[in-house]
Amino acid sequence: MDASIASLYSFPKEIEALSKKAESLCRDAFARMEEISYYNEAKVLKAFADNRVSETHFAGSTGYGYDDRGREVLDAVYAQAFGAEDALVRLHFVSGTHALSTALFGILRPGDTLLSLSGKPYDTMEEVIGIRSGKTGTITNGSLKDFGIDYEQIDLLPDSLPDLTAIRKKAPLAKVAYIQRSRGYAMRRSLSIAVIERMIRAAKEANPDILVFVDNCYGEFVEEKEPTEVGADLMAGSLIKNPGGAIARTGGYIAGRRDLVELCSYRLTSVGMGKEVGCTLGQNEAMFEGFFFAPSVTAAAVKTSLFASALFSLMGYQTSPRYDEPRTDIIMAIELGSKEKMCAFCRGIQMGAPVDAYVTPEPWNMPGYDDQVIMAAGAFHNGASIELSADGPIKEPFSVWMQGGITYHTGKIGVMLAAGELLKADS
Ligand SMILES: *Cc1c(COP(=O)(O)O)cnc(C)c1O
C-alpha cells in the first residue's frame, strides 16, 4: 500500500517506520474516537430527521431575511444536537470571538460581575472583557469594563485542575461564570466535559442564580456531550472550527437557554428584531451540510492530532496532550526548542495543505503580539483552523500549536511532511 504513496511523496525511511509505529500506538485512541464519532453522527442525523430538514430550507433569502425557514430549522437542529433549548446559528458572526462577545454583552449588565473559573481567557477575549488595552490603546473602547462590568478570575490549580473551593467562595458575587473548555494557545490542559460538569455544580451550589457560559471553541463533537448537556446555560463557538465541518464558509453559533439566546439575538441584530431577521444569502445549505459532516471531520482532526502526538514523541519531542491522554478539543502543542525547527515544522505542514502548498511560511510581526509569529495554513476558508494548521510565537520554549485535518489521511501526510522537514533541520 505504501509503495504507491512512495511514488507521490518520498518520506525518509525513518519517518515511514516511525509513522507505522505511531499509528499502532494510537490504535485504542483511534477506536475510541470512532465510537464517539459514531454516536455524534447519529445525534446529528436524528436532529436533521426530527426537524424535517428539506431541500426548501436551502433556498437563500436576501434583504431583511424575514421568514427564512432554513435559518430557523438550522437553529433547531443545532439546539437538538447540543441538548440545548435554542440556538442562534448565523453567518453574521464574523468569528468565534464575535459570537463569544455577543453572548457576554447579551447577558451581562452594568454593575454585574463576570467570573472566569478557568484562569486567563483566550487572548482576543481579554480586549472584549477589558483586561488588556490592545490595539485601541485604551479600555474606554466599548469593552465590558467600559460598560461597568467587573471581571474576576479564578486561576486553575497545578495540573490544570479547577479550584472548586475558590469557585464556591466567589460564585455568590457573580452574575455570569465563564469557563473556557479548550486550552487555546495556553500551556494548560483543556477541560473535559466531566471536569466542566464539576465546576458548574460547584458554582451553582454556591449560587443557584449564576449563569454559566462556556467558550466551546475547538470542543464540539470531541466528546459525546456538550457543555449545555451538563448544566451550562449558554455556550458559543466558531463555524470555521469543528461545527462548520470545513464546509460552512463563515459564521458562529450561540446555544443554550431559550431566554438567554433571545437576549443574545437582540445584541447581534437589535432589540425587538432578534432572531427574526438576518438573510442567509444562499449559505444555509453549506451550514447544514457542514454540521452534518462536523462529527466525522472533528474525528479526523482528533485522529490527526493523536497521530502527530505519537509520532513526535517517538522522535523525542514533548507533546501535550500525549496520544494516550483523553481529548476534549482538537489542539496539540509540541515543544520544538528552536526557531529553525519551528520554521521547518510549519514548512512541512504547509507542504501538506491542499491550498497554497507551494508557499513557505516565515515568521512575521503580528499586531497585538510582542514576539514574531509563524503560521502554516493552507485552507479552503481563510483562517479555518478545523483545516490542518500550525502556529506559534517565536519565543521560549519554541512550541507550535497544531490543529485540524479534515480527512485523516491528508492530515497524516501533512504531519509526516512536517516530521521530514524537522529531520532535515536536525541533520
Ligand atoms: C478560536 C478560539 C476563540 C475565538 O477565536 P476566533 O479566531 O475569533 O474565531 C476563542 N476561544 C478559544 C478557546 C478558541 O480556540
Tens-digit pLDDT profile for residues 318-348: 999 999 999 999 999 999 999 999 999 999 9
Residue 247 above 60 pLDDT? yes
Give the pLDDT band (50/70/90) at residue 134.
low
Ligand 1: atom nearest CA of 240 is: 9
User: In angstroms, how far apart are the furthest CA atoms of the chain?
Assistant: 66
Q: Looking at ligand 1, which atom is closest to the CA of residue 97?
A: 8
* The pLDDT of residue 410 is above 80: yes
Q: Cα of 120 to ligand 1 centre, how many Å? A: 13
Among 6, 28, 9, 3, which residue's Cα sits nearest to residue 310?
Answer: 28
> Is the CB–ligand 1 distance for residue 237 below 6 Å?
no
- Count the Cβ atoms, other than its own, within 10 Å of residue 45: 13
Average pLDDT, integer, range 27-41: 98
Q: Can you read off the three cell numbers belonging to residue 339?
A: 526557531
Residue 229 to residue 398: CA distance in whole angstroms: 37
**What is the Å distance from ligand 1's center to 415 Cα?**
23
Cα of 123 vs centre of ligand 1, distance in Å, is 8
CA of 94 to the centre of ligand 1 (A): 11
pLDDT at 5: 86
DSSP state of 161: B
CB proximity list for 138: less than 8 A, separation 6 or greater: none
Q: Answer yes or no: is pLDDT of 368 > 80.
A: no
Q: Assign 383 a pLDDT band (cuts: 50, 70, 90).
A: very high
Whole-number Å distance, alpha carbon 49 to ligand 1 midpoint, is 30
Cβ pair 180, 192 in contact under 8 A: no
Q: What is the pLDDT of residues 217-229, one digit of tens each?
A: 999 999 999 999 9
Ligand 1: atom nearest CA of 122 is: 11
- Distance (Å, rounded) from C-alpha 94 to C-alpha 381? 13
Q: How far is the CA of 217 from the centre of ligand 1 (A)?
A: 6
pLDDT for 117 equals 98
Note the pLDDT of residue 140: 80
Q: Which of 253, 251, 275 is nearest to 263 (CA)?
A: 275
Please say if the pLDDT value at position 139 is more than 90.
no
pLDDT value of position 136: 63
What local confidence, expressed as pLDDT, does residue 297 receive?
98
Phi, psi torsion values for 240, nearest 5 degrees: -95, 15
Percent over 70 (pLDDT), the chain: 98
Cell digits of residue 202: 460547584
Asked whether 328 lines ligand 1 (CB < 6 A), one says no
Atom of ligand 1 nearest to the CA of 385: 1
180 lines ligand 1 (CB under 6 A): yes
Residue 56 pLDDT exceeds 70:
yes
Query: Which position has the higher pLDDT, 6 or 61?
Result: 61
* Pocket of ligand 1 contains residue 123 by CB under 6 Å: no
Mean pLDDT of 189-199: 98
CB 249 within 8 A of CB 273: no
How far apart are the C-alpha atoms of 113 and 177, rounded to whole Å? 9
Is the pTM value of this prediction over 0.75? Answer: yes
pLDDT in tens, 284-314: 999 999 999 999 999 999 999 999 999 999 9
Task: Check residue 18 and give its pLDDT.
Answer: 98
User: Is residue 1 predicted with pLDDT exceeding 60?
Assistant: no
- Burial code (b: 16+ CB inside 10 Å, e: under 16) for 136-166 equals eeebeeebbbeeebbbebbebeeebebbbeb
Contact 349, 336 (CB under 8 A): no
Whether the predicted pLDDT of 238 surpasses 70? yes
Residue 71 predicted with pLDDT over 70: yes
